[in-house]
Amino acid sequence: MSNFEFEKTKIDGVYIVTPKLFGDERGYFMETYNEEAFKEAGLDYTFVQDNQSSSKKGVLRGLHFQKTYPQAKLVRVLKGEVFDVAVDLREGSETYGEWVGARLSEENHQQLMIPRGFAHGFLVLSDYAEFAYKCDDFYHPEDEGGLPFNDPDVAVEWPEIDCEYVLSEKDRKHLKLSESKITFKEAK
């Protein structure tokens, strides 16, 4: 019996993963990843790098991808809450250019499994958030790419918050999907 629930989203290959919590008066325990359980669910990845970031409310990171070294990611929130988004950029996909989003938080313990061939980003909804993710390929800084968070070709419906979005300078300069025409042939 698996310690995970794997919920399909509207985009093939993207899953909301909910771990089973085991708790008592001391607190709780949960697995955040188990290779056998993920393989049983059809999610056969070999993760090679773990990353973690902290951000304040309103920080919007993304929508990021690597151009020639696409990464599958298993993402989760350790503290706070974010709205997490994956945009399908797989060549020939019926959902090319479409997005799926999920609220991930320290309370719901949910994770988003994003296969290769997607742009990824998140908006911090809480005062502070710590975000962690596993990747199945290494980070290559020279290979970065992205889409604007407000790309009308994608039309992500970001939640309203009571402050301005905080973006990096790099994230303010991405080409729209219709301009970049980015596609990924390899999807894992």
Assigned architecture for domain 47-180 = Sandwich (2.60)
| pLDDT mean across residues, the chain | 95
pTM for this model (two decimals):
0.94
* Residue matched to tokens 């008066």: 25
Give residue-wise pLDDT tens across range 133-155.
Answer: 999 999 999 999 999 999 999 99
| 38 band by pLDDT with thresholds 50, 70 and 90 | very high
Tokens standing for residue 81:
């809450």
Cis peptide before 167 (omega within 30 of 0): no
Could you give the strand order of the β-sheet that contains 128-135, starting from the edge strand earlier in sequence?
Answer: 4-8, 15-19, 111-114, 73-79, 128-135, 49-56
Catalytic site includes residue 64: yes
| Domains in the chain: boundaries | 47-180
Q: How many helices (H) and strands (E) does the chain have?
A: 2, 13
Q: Which of 64, 109, 120, 174 is catalytic?
A: 64
Active-site hit among 15, 45, 120, 133: 133
Asked whether 123 and 156 are in contact (CB, 8 A), the reply is no
